[in-house]
Amino acid sequence: MKPRQTTPSASALPPKPRNLFPVWLAALLALLWLIVHDLEISFETLAYGVADMAEYFSRYSKPEFSELSRYLELMKITLATALWGTVFALVVAFFLAPLAARNLAPYPLAYRAARELLNFMRAMPDLLLALIFVAALGLGPLPGVLALGVHTAGFLGKFFAESLERVDKGVYEGVTSTGANFPQIVMYAGWPSIQREALGYVLYILDRNVRMASVLGMVGAGGIGLALHDTLRMFNYGQSAALIIVILVTILIIDYASAWLRRRLS
Amino acid sequence: MSIISIKSATKRFPNGFEAIKGITADIAAGSFTVILGPSGAGKSTLLRLMNGLETPTGGSIHITGETLGKSNLRKMRSCVGMVFQQFNLVERLSVVTNVLTGRLAHRSWLGSLFYLFRNEDMEIAQEALARVGLTDKAWNRADKLSGGQQQRVGIARALAQRPKVILADEPVASLDPVSSEEIMMLLREICDRDGITVVVNLHQVDLAKRFADRIIGMNSGRVVFDGTPAELSPLTLQAIYKRDEIKDDTNLNLALAYA
């Protein structure tokens, strides 16, 4: 038997690729330091402020539930706002998404228009939309519904369009080859293929809209947020605490419910 | 009488690949034609041209005397059923809904929006399912079926179109030998009994010889053989399956020895 030869030159690895991670990390840290310096953020103030903050939060320590039934009524309005906002978004996305899917859109121009419209809706913050609609339509849940609907239609439309783009080309061809037209291809090959994903997205958006609807009330879009806004303005800490607890519990319940449903779906 | 005529058709894809390099052929009504050739010969593209899934770069396709174009695409497709290698069913829909999609060309988009079909469509679908022997699976989800069964649903969908022609693109390439046999028998029977013209892409020489009235052999975008199965000699098989870049192809000779 021949002794095994070890030739160091043969086993030498090619030169190690340069790793630029430390450079990027250093640059990022430098940027963060510059920001602190530039904005004159002082960590000392934060340290001194902790005591003050503790005192402020302690004012919320006695929640006052005497008007609980009114709060629950308001929470119901907020939930209704979120639900209708989601339905509005779903209807808009249902019509726009197939046009915004590159592999389905019948005309390139329709594709561009649908895409840009969805981008625009997504780019408009719902808080800003709510302010605009409150100014135009007055106080109440309706501006909240529209604000949530327009903003999340942009999201849902994009999610749906991307799901439709991921469907196997053959499925579309199978239906196309029978002579089906664009709406028929969408209804028979598109939506059925993504129904489960789509339902998951809708639940996620509903979940998000409940959270957002509570905040939208603060700019006058009705529901529990409006009440919280009022009690905060009147320094009524007991009632504010009760309202915050109602909001938090509701959001938690919705969060768990939608997570459970989505798990059931997949 | 020819039901499909292809007139000096060429197809060049946007990436520059020329899949069809000038093909002229007539396909007789009620015949069973097999297009034979190696992978990449352009068989699929030729078949897809006949359904308008691809548009020719040059030349033209005529079906029952009408030139296939953008304006009559829906009408032309409705009389040319298509069967695919990967079945191309909508997996989450029931078997019967998949078959009913074969009726879409005859229905308005508004009814389709609500998944509404007329009774006559339902009867046609029922008939088509009985024809492929899947009546008892009608309400199953399409993806719960075996490969052979899914392909039969694909054929039922084509039958529901009440087509003049059925094009089958490698219908048995993803199936086991027994299912393949069943599918080929079914297609042959549809041709014989209903008088529907059938064009099948295959790469199995033995199946082509057994089922075809006529074999068209293709190699790199051209027709290199056109005749009856009896005329298919070892030499013509060499021409069909020859690979340009390889001389003295022992693998080719070995493969054809058992064909």
Taking 90 as the threshold, does the pLDDT of residue B71 lie above it? no
**Mean pLDDT, rounded, for B43-48:** 92
Contacts of B71 in chain A (CB under 8 A): none
Tokens at A87, concatenated: 């339905």
pTM: 0.83
Contacts of A178 in chain B (CB under 8 A): 77-78, 81-82, 101-102, 104-105, 157-158, 161
Beta strands at B58-63 and B2-12: parallel, antiparallel or unpaired: antiparallel
| pLDDT on residue A153 | 95
- Provide the ipTM: 0.89
Minimal CA separation from A148 to chain B, in Å: 27
**So what's the pLDDT on residue B171?**
92
Residues of B in contact with A94 (CB under 8 A): none
Q: What is the mean pLDDT of chain A?
A: 88
Helix axes A237-265, A68-100, angle to 10 degrees: 40
Each domain of chain A, given as residue ranges in start order, spans 68-265
- Residue A181 to residue B109, Cβ atoms within 8 A: yes
Residue A95's pLDDT band, with cuts at 50, 70 and 90, is very high
Report the SS3 class of residue A177: coil
**pLDDT at residue A6 tops 70:** no
Q: CA–CA separation, A157 vs A91, rounded Å?
A: 10
Cα of B113 to nearest chain A Cα, Å: 6
pLDDT at A8: 55
Contact B20, B42 (CB under 8 A): yes
pLDDT in tens, A197-224: 899 899 889 989 988 888 888 887 778 8
CATH of span A68-265: 1.10.3720.10
Contacts of A176 in chain B (CB under 8 A): 53, 77
Residue-wise pLDDT tens digits, A53-72: 888 888 888 888 888 888 88
Q: What is the 3-state secondary structure (H, E, C) of B107-137?
A: CCHHHHHCCCCCHHHHHHHHHHHHHCCCHHH
Cβ neighbours of residue A133 closer than 8 Å, sequence gap 6 or more: A142, A143, A144, A146, A147, A221
- Dump pLDDT digits (tens) for B165-177: 999 999 998 889 8
Per-residue confidence (pLDDT) for residue A5, from 0 to 100: 54
Closest B-chain CA to A169: B88
Instruction: Assess whether pLDDT exceeds 60 at residue B108.
Output: yes
> pLDDT value at position B241?
83
